[in-house]
Amino acid sequence: MNPIRILIADDDAGMRLVMRKLAENAEGYELVGEAEDGEKLIELYDALKPEVVLMDVEMPGMTGIECARAIQDRDPRTVLVFATAHEEYMASAFEVYAFDYLVKPFRVERAMQTLERIRQRLRGGAAEPMDVPDVERRRMPVEPVQGRMMLKHRDGISFIDIPQIAMVMRENRATILLMQDGTRYVVSDGMAELDERLPDELFFRTHKSYIVNLNLIESIAPYGRWTYVVKLKGLKDDALITHERFEELQKRFA
């Protein structure tokens, strides 16, 4: 199994050394790079495509929160972990769906536990149990939706059947519409525009980067401290759902 690619960033050389040792000693990880400021972090992220980013919040150029927003627009599945001496940024970390928030000076054991939980989630190990109800067992009947949509995309214009849309997601700073048969369209509409165009009785905005077809939800499992992963029937691609939107989804499936 391939190691998990991790990128670290902190403007303090001593803290980068600590982060480096964590990455080197954690099972199943490969340290692919390190940055001393936010702009360098984004440059390395684009070049190296890490699965995990461990970073400070206060950095020159771009803050860790600003970097997190930029990274999420590229790939919302990237696991973000903040390590900072300032507890007051925790609310902002919540907004960008950080997997964890380590307050300096943190214990090495605490940080290693976080990396182990990430490894279990990314590589299919046994995750720690969480109180997540089984949506599949309480499936809400969704009324059939008919109709077609004219879709403008980079290859032209297509007319598609709305019920065949599986998911809309952000990927590589573009909006992707994924059909049930696996066809992918890079569309000109943004997430907000498609959220308005798609019928509420069939589609649900689970996350700022995902809209899913309710009829395709198969299961939901924990992914991070404030985020869950949504498995969709017949698809390799998954979606993410925030804790707040999960609570809203529970009401619809009750």
The model's confidence at residue 146, banded by pLDDT at 50, 70 and 90, is low
Tell me the mean pLDDT in the region 74-78. 90
Judge whether residue 32 has pLDDT over 60.
yes
Q: Is residue 249 a contact partner of residue 177, using CB atoms and an 8 Å limit?
A: no
Give the pLDDT score at 189. 87
Give the pLDDT score at 144. 54
Judge whether residue 158 has pLDDT over 70.
yes
Judge whether residue 253 has pLDDT over 90.
no
Tell me the mean pLDDT in the region 45-69. 94
Lookup: tokens for 95: 């907004």
- What is the tally of helices (H) and strands (E) in the chain? 7, 15
Tell me the mean pLDDT in the region 46-66. 94
Tell me the mean pLDDT in the region 47-75. 94
Give the pLDDT score at 223. 79
Give the pLDDT score at 66. 95
Which residue(s) pair with 86 in the sheet?
none
Give the pLDDT score at 126. 44
More confidently predicted of 234 and 128: 234
Give the pLDDT score at 16. 95
Judge whether residue 234 has pLDDT over 60.
yes
> pLDDT digit string (tens) for 8-20?
999 999 999 999 9
Task: Give percent above pLDDT 90 in the chain.
Answer: 59
Rg (CA), the chain: 19
Give the pLDDT score at 85. 84
Q: Is residue 190 a contact partner of residue 209, using CB atoms and an 8 Å limit?
A: no
Judge whether residue 132 has pLDDT over 70.
no
> DSSP readout, 75-117?
-TTSEEEEEES-GGGHHHHHHTT-SEEEESSPPHHHHHHHHHH
Give the pLDDT score at 35. 97
Residue with tokens 């940055």: 35
> DSSP readout, 160-207?
EEGGGEEEEEEETTEEEEEETTS-EEEESS-HHHHHHHS-TTTEEEEE
CATH superfamily of 4-122: Response regulator (3.40.50.2300)
Give the pLDDT score at 89. 72
Domain residue spans in the chain? 4-122, 143-253
> pLDDT digit string (tens) for 164-213?
999 999 988 899 999 999 999 999 889 999 999 999 999 999 999 999 99
Judge whether residue 137 has pLDDT over 60.
no
Mean pLDDT estimate for the chain: 87
Polymer length of the chain:
254
What is the third-level CATH fold of 143-253? OB fold (Dihydrolipoamide Acetyltransferase, E2P) (2.40.50)
